[in-house]
Amino acid sequence: MVESLLLNSQVAAREKLDGDLEVIKERVAFYYLRMLHETVTQDERTSFQLPSHHETLFDYSQYIYDIVQRDEHAYVKREWMNDTYEEMCAITERYDPKDPDFLLIAASGENLPAVVRGQTTILEHMTKGDKLNNYYRDALGFHKLNELISTTAAQIAHRYPNINICEIGAGTGGSSWAIFGKLGTAYASYTYTDISVGFFEKAQEKFAPYGDRITYKTLDITSSPVKQGFVEGAYDLVVMANVLHVTPDLEETLRNTRRLLKPGGYLVMMEFINESVMRLGVIIGGLPGWWVGRDTGRRCSPNVSLEQWHELLLKSGFGDIDTHTPVYDPVIMPASIITARAIDDEITILKSPLSIPESSLPSAQRTELIILGGKKNTTMALVDGVVSHLKPRYRSVIQIDTWEEPDETSIPAKCCVLNISGFDGPFWTDITTDRFENFKALLMVSMSVLWVTWGSNQDNGDESPTPDSGTASLIAERFLRLEVTTGWQRTPSENGKLWSIEPEYKVEQGEILVPRVMPEMAQNDRYNSAKRKIVKEVNLKQAIVTLGWSNDEYNLREEENPSLPSLPGYRRVLVDTSILSSIPTPAGRLFVTLGRDLDNGGRVLSVSSKNASAILVSERWSVPVHVRRSIDVQYLSFLLGYLSSHNIAALVPAGSTLVVHEPDPGLVSMLSRHLSNLGSRVVFTTSNSQLLKRNWLLLHPRTPDRQLRAALPKDVSMYLDLSDDWSTLQGTETLDSRIAACLPHLCEKFDGSMLGARESTQRPRRLALQIQGPGPIGSGLITTFTADTSKEKWIGYQIIAGFGRGAALNMPIVASQEYLSRDSIAIASSAIALCQYLTGSIAISVAQAIFQNGLTPALEKYAPNVDPTIILDAGATGYADVLPADQLPRVRFAYNEALVKVFFLPTATAAVAALLSFGFSWKKIGVEEHKEMPPAVSDHAQSK
């Protein structure tokens, strides 16, 4: 089977196209191997007195060179012998110059000639810029391999949730990170080892969240671990990722590894099993460890085949290979995750009880076996198969078709019971007294019971499934394991073995599952989020997160929908860089972002109401740009400075003076340029003597007010406070507030909120009058109505008044929902509604009284012959029907005069409310404003 897999992989490799990325990487790797072979002559090699690993590297390059020249390589084409350096650079640039494979192939390949000449060391170039760490985490195939090894470790920890784990040769921690991500809390300890302490400092930073369970130790696995301070048999699981093949004696290394494991413990290793991947030879071939197996027959590659691993494991105290992941494509992923168990005599029996001689089983020839079931033909065949496996191992086998057959006298004491009758029909359906009594009797006298059923998660229906040929051996194996473990005097853990006596197994689609009660983390997090902040890591390739402001801090929230729909007229943008603050635009406050269009791969500049990792924006709100990813910060900083200066200049009247307190240096030059074009003057004030330049005014925080007035311009029309301790409108005695107090009363005063806010769609504070004003203005205009007022005014004035009343009614509800706790919102909303309805009813009563009291004098004035009672009884829509036509014009004038007096009441109350609102502290609904320019502007200034 293994041979066929490898053969199929080689065939698949030969069928690959030139455009496949993995083959392109091999092409680049072959170029550097060829250059090493052609650049360093044989005479040079002789004169260098090369170390053995460099000699083997040249042997390898010669071997590859020869088979390619003969056109015998699985996927390397002979014409690649003519590749040039320029072509390789073009290939790298076309695909991805930051790809970890390309980076490390180039770093190693370009320096190999200098390395073998003794001019430099290969590690110096491999570790520069964290290339090696990124390679083991993100290189071609490694992500999948790390996922596979972590999944395997998690499956073992699922069955044994309190295991002690040791990772040998953990190095940069690429595999460790994936394993921790899958383990959760299902382990007791994790020993992180490497041959030296060089990687430990970074590892301790990286794995700080797991620090209470991690121990860091040095370990040279080529020597006895016991002599290095490790306890023999202390671990349940040993993990080795790309370690074994770089040891000189694989069998000896495996024996040392076996000493760390207790019987039944697992070895999970990631190992290369294919010799033809050249990029490994280029990347790691310059290191001594890659060729340490040359004296044991591994001259062209340190790797060995699955068959060889199988033999080595059997010689080293392990069982045969339990599982291995198939290598479907040796060019993409030339490695396999191999799992084996440490064995002793008892574990060997438990692993393969049917292959053990009958005399070796503890319960052999000493007990009776009762097998229940066989009423149906399909069940009878299953029973016969089980009997053929188990009969030689028991004193006698008693077969009973149904539960109604046995009685207490026919059941031997201390028997073993195997119930397969579930395949004949559900036990509890139409249960009889005899069946239940026999059931109790069997439980009382039996030593062990294995109950086989089916369809436990659903209605069994009328028809049971037909067992396949492997079901009988599966049941027999499980039964013998139960027998063996039941006969142990102590539990497996007390015996120092890793094995669990499971009360239940489930076979589903060929997989044997071990049930466990598992926490439902998503539901637990949702429940706990009402009480505390829930923090978790997310993969931005699979989730969308939004940056928001709440509870006086920034928060990242995961969106419920992790995908962006494709809509006409919209762009799906994966954000690379964004400005932390929203900036004012005609459409409101929006966030500016630079990202990549997911549909065409181009970079776009966008504005959005959300500051998220991925956004859906209108094409009208985005524009393609040609900006390198490396200068995103500088580009956005300059853009922010330009837009901020433009927004400020738009508010400054031409020819007037602007005072800006504590501006960011990145804003100063652009703002000065904008205002000079308008003929306006700008003065910058600061208390920092290091920022003093032309047009800057240095003011000490304790400068007396009289000196402030003398120093400040007299014709200031606008003041902008960008200081950290902004308090202009709050009445404190800081320098910024004192400057504001010294300026003319008609000078407009603003803070940093006009330039940037922490959330979007927030308007500046000066809109308060625009929001509160329509109420008294609209009501006041209604008081000007006459009987012959035009429809345009009549409708327009009511719209203005309605807008003001709507804002007044809605704002308390919005404020309560924003600033009260969730438990208090319902009570507050009810109280607000009660006040609004109650005061509304009172206002209607008062208005009715004003109208009635005003109608009588008005009628006496305009229509003295009309009875006011008739008008009041008929109402506004009916009085025209009860009065003579000649009286109607006069009555309308009287009616209008009484009616407009009513609107003096809402005009006065709305005006008072508008004035009182300015006496309350102002709160931002859903946002908080910046008190300083965003840091991006400073970054821009520094970059200049």
pLDDT (tens digit per residue) in 543-572: 899 988 877 788 888 887 888 888 899 999
**Alpha-carbon distances of 399 from 375, 393, 440, 634, rounded to whole Å:** 11, 15, 18, 83
Look up the pTM and report it.
Answer: 0.64
- Give pLDDT tens digits for 433-481: 888 888 888 888 888 899 988 876 665 555 666 777 788 899 999 998 8
- Give pLDDT tens digits for 162-200: 999 999 999 888 899 999 989 988 999 999 999 999 889
How far is it, in rounded angstroms, from Cα 306 to Cα 241?
16
**Overall size of the chain counted in residues:** 944
Question: In this predicted structure, what is the pLDDT of residue 225?
Answer: 96
Burial of 815 (0-12, 13-18, 19+ CB in 10 A): middle
Domains of the chain, start order: 2-133 (no CATH), 155-277+289-350 (3.40.50.150), 359-486 (3.40.50), 545-625 (no CATH), 638-762 (3.40.50.720), 772-917 (no CATH)
Lowest mean pLDDT among 143-152, 641-650, 850-859: 850-859
**Which range is most confident: 581-590, 609-618, 762-771?**
609-618
Determine what percent of the chain falls in helix, strand and coil, rounding each to the nearest 5: 50, 15, 35
Confidence of residue 944 (pLDDT cuts 50, 70, 90): very low
Q: Are 515 and 159 in contact (CB under 8 A)?
A: no
- Give pLDDT tens digits for 341-375: 999 988 988 888 888 777 666 654 568 889 988 88
Which residues are registered as beta bridge partners of 588? 585
Question: In this predicted structure, what is the pLDDT of residue 924?
Answer: 47
> Does the pLDDT of residue 797 top 70, yes or no?
no
> Scanning the structure block, which residue is given the tokens 């009969």?
391
Share of the chain above pLDDT 90, in %: 20
Q: Are 871 and 859 in contact (CB under 8 A)?
A: yes
How far is it, in rounded angstroms, from Cα 357 to Cα 349?
9
Burial of 534 (0-12, 13-18, 19+ CB in 10 A): middle
Structure tokens at 539: 């993969």
Give the CA count within 13 Å in the CB-facing half-sphere of 105.
Answer: 29
Confidence of residue 271 (pLDDT cuts 50, 70, 90): very high
Mean pLDDT across the chain, nearest whole number? 80
Dihedral angle sign, alpha carbons of residues 462, 468, 474, 479: positive
Which residue from 832, 831, 850 is spatially nearest to 906, judged by alpha carbons? 850
Lowest mean pLDDT among 328-337, 605-614, 654-663, 761-770: 761-770
Is the pLDDT higher at 862 or at 582?
A: 582
Confidence of residue 2 (pLDDT cuts 50, 70, 90): very low
Lowest mean pLDDT among 5-19, 114-128, 131-145, 527-541: 5-19
Which residue from 761, 760, 763, 756 is spatially nearest to 581, judged by alpha carbons? 756
> Does the pLDDT of residue 823 top 50, yes or no?
yes
How far is it, in rounded angstroms, from Cα 926 to Cα 930?
14
Can you list the alpha helix ranges (DSSP code H) found in 250-369?
250-260, 278-284, 306-315, 345-351
Q: Hey, what long-range contacts does 42-48 have (CB within 8 A, 24 or more apart)?
A: 44/117, 45/116, 48/116, 48/117, 48/118
Q: Which H or E run includes 717? A: strand 716-721
Question: In this predicted structure, what is the pLDDT of residue 159?
Answer: 94
Q: Which residues of 243-279 are buried (b: 16+ CB within 10 A; e: fewer)?
A: bbbbbbebeebbbbbbbbbbbbbbbbbbbbbbbbbbb
> Does the pLDDT of residue 310 top 90, yes or no?
yes
Average pLDDT over residues 614-630: 90
Average pLDDT over residues 875-904: 74
> Does the pLDDT of residue 765 top 70, yes or no?
no
Q: Which stretches does DSSP call E strand in 453-520?
A: 506-508, 511-513
Average pLDDT over residues 280-287: 86
Which residue from 393, 382, 333, 334 is spatially nearest to 358, judged by alpha carbons? 393
Do strands 570-578 and 588-597 pair parallel, antiparallel, or not at all (unpaired)? antiparallel
Q: Which residues of 195-223 are buried (b: 16+ CB within 10 A; e: fewer)?
A: beeebbeebeebbeeeeebbebeebbbee
Question: In this predicted structure, what is the pLDDT of residue 368?
Answer: 86
> Does the pLDDT of residue 19 top 50, yes or no?
no
Q: What angle do CA 162, 168, 172 make, to 5 degrees?
A: 105
**Alpha-carbon distances of 663 from 188, 641, 651, rounded to whole Å:** 55, 11, 17
Q: Which stretches does DSSP call E strand in 559-602?
A: 570-578, 583-585, 588-597
Is the pLDDT higher at 1 or at 810?
A: 810
Question: In this predicted structure, what is the pLDDT of residue 190?
Answer: 96
Confidence of residue 768 (pLDDT cuts 50, 70, 90): very low
Confidence of residue 204 (pLDDT cuts 50, 70, 90): very high
Average pLDDT over residues 725-745: 70
CA-based radius of gyration for the chain: 42
